[in-house]
A and B are shown apart, each in its own frame.
Chain A
């Protein structure tokens, strides 16, 4: 059973680069699609982007110019980098596996525990 363990939370200053990792256990990081999703304090969920099992990426157009999502097969981890952060990027960031089946059964499961990033 796939389990996701996140790391890299913390306090950043405006214009810093956010860097988060998500360690995958119980499965190969190159065998699935992986997404990053964020949630500002007290607010709803925003899909940031994803990396496919073949290494392709799809990003939310609202963040596309600042995002890089990658995987490291040697450590079975995925990573998120977000450049030039502002206070608006303060959020809990989640990694999640995307079940993509070319059917309506396309969903996010499981999720990592989340990592709070504060920009101030």
Chain B
């Protein structure tokens, strides 16, 4: 199985901040990498797919980058509605695996 890790596990930030979350894969996943946002009590929502493609309807302050084994999700200008937990997921091979999550909290 491909193991996914994320850093940090949590971070505190203020509205307007630039936030970067890193995801690492145990082997190359090329750009088969997705990012999801999850709010408490809700299902995850797709934010970025194919490492850098913004899902329709997602604000342009979100961006993804990376390839191979290291990926980043950046939120440029954090808004109230962005406080949530973010998960990366590799879609290269079965079993599909997720990172442990990064919780973005209010500072």
Contact = CB atoms under 8 A, between A and B. Distances in A.
Interface of A: 35, 44-47, 58, 60-62, 94, 99, 103-109, 111-114
Interface in B63-90: 87, 89
B43 A111 contact: yes
B43 to A, nearest CB: 4
Contact of A105 (B42, B45, B53, B89): B53
B46 A109 contact: yes
Interface of B: 30-34, 36, 42-46, 49-51, 53, 55, 87, 89, 91, 94-101
Given A106-B32, A109-B55, A111-B44, A47 B49 contact: no
A58 B55 CA distance: 26
B94 A46 contact: no
Contacts of A105: 49-50, 53
Contact of B44 (A35, A45, A60, A106): A45
15 contacts: A35-B96, A44-B101, A45-B36, A46-B98, A47-B96, A47-B98, A60-B95, A94-B43, A104-B51, A106-B32, A106-B91, A107-B49, A109-B55, A111-B45, A113-B42
Contacts of B49: 99, 104-107, 109
Contacts of B96: 35, 47
A26 to B, nearest CB: 15
Contacts of A114: 42-43
Contact of B95 (A47, A99, A107): A47
Contacts of A60: 94-95
B30 A61 contact: no
